[in-house]
Amino acid sequence: MASALSRALHTAFAPPRYLSLPTVGIDLSTSGVKGALVVERSHGLELSSYIDVRFPGAAFAEGDIADRAAVIAALRELRAKVGVSTANISLPESKSYLFETHAVGTTKEDLKIAVEQHIDEYVPLPPADTAFDIVPLTVGAEGTLVVGVGYAKRIIEEIFSVCEEAGFTPRALESETFAAARALLPFGESGTALVVDIGKTTTKLAIVTGGVPRFATTIGIGGHALTLAVQKHFGVTETEARRVKLSHGIVPGEGNEDYLAAMLSTASAIRDEIARKLEYWQAHAALSGGHEPVARAVMVGGNASVRGLAEYLEGTLRIPVTTGNVFANFASTDVWLPPLDYTQSLVYSTAIGLALREYVR
């Protein structure tokens, strides 16, 4: 385990781009693996290629690899399609422990040593079994405020192992929360935003300031619950229900009152959970002054494009809510057009964010 952890930490220090090999961002999710390869042109960044390889069954269970052979096979297929063997790879948010603390030190290494002495206070794992990294933020009277994220070393070890067996050389491992924020928020943005990733079975929330996640959590309900509501109402197949969900959404219309009620019974559960988490943050920001209030929300994920959902959430959250743009840091569309459509792009935020690690100024 120690050797894998050492390699993981070493990969955080990337060589200059002119010395480095092309690096693909790989998002390991419950449904499959997604890859994104970014290239730099004279006019800016472009998405060179994107790949989605689905698992034949349940390869992950609650963030842990349940079918090692299926994951390796999918990674090998992705490597063959993208033609690149160096990768930045996602770590599951559900297995992470995000924390903030103050530490004393003049360098990042000094700060890490200071945090390590109290790591059991921030990560509920035995210190010997914990891997973590930090991002220094601001310096004050109490020392340097740092944001840290911790994982069980076994998670790091397992991800390294399957990637290397599939023929990938891991360059960096990163929490999907950090990666998605990099894709969705413009480089250098200093404000605070709420990122809402509505997946199939879960909804992931991250509050991000200056590109750094300060809070993250996962809600155990996602867009598939909306699909089931449509299936139950119309008595159609899952495929047809997904089509109806995306085309009809939760927009009021003549004669669709019963359908809308069925959809809102599920959408309201997602909305209420988001509202509770946001209200806590906003209240804490107002009372302590230690946090900036959230100014806007950005939706991403396979269900972010459901018609009317952004407006529905905005009415309760009382902040602007928009669907995300995973190409926020790419070349202008005046000179380049993305190779995938907007709805497709919303599921690639983590993979694209991982690929963008190589281009952060």
Q: What is the mean predicted confidence (pLDDT) over 26-30?
A: 93
**Pair type for strands 296-300 and 86-91:** unpaired
- Between 247 and 154, the higher pLDDT residue: 154
Can you tell me which residue has the tokens 């497709």? Answer: 344
Q: Could you give all domains of the chain from N- to C-terminal order, each with its CATH number?
A: 2-95+154-187+329-359 (3.30.420.40), 189-325 (3.30.420.40)
Angle at 355 between CA 351 and CA 360, to 5 degrees: 130
Question: Using 50, 70 and 90 to split pLDDT, how confident is the model at 288?
Answer: low
pLDDT at 172 over 50: yes
8 A C-beta contact, residue 165 and residue 334: no
| 166 CB neighbour count, 10 Å cutoff | 20
Using CA atoms, how far residue 284 sits from 206, 233, 275, 278, 292, in Å, is 16, 41, 14, 10, 9
Q: Model pTM?
A: 0.90
Amino acid letter for position 355: A
Please report the pLDDT score of residue 3 as a whole number: 39
8 A C-beta contact, residue 346 and residue 323: yes
- Between 149 and 248, the higher pLDDT residue: 149
pLDDT in tens, 123-136: 999 999 999 999 99
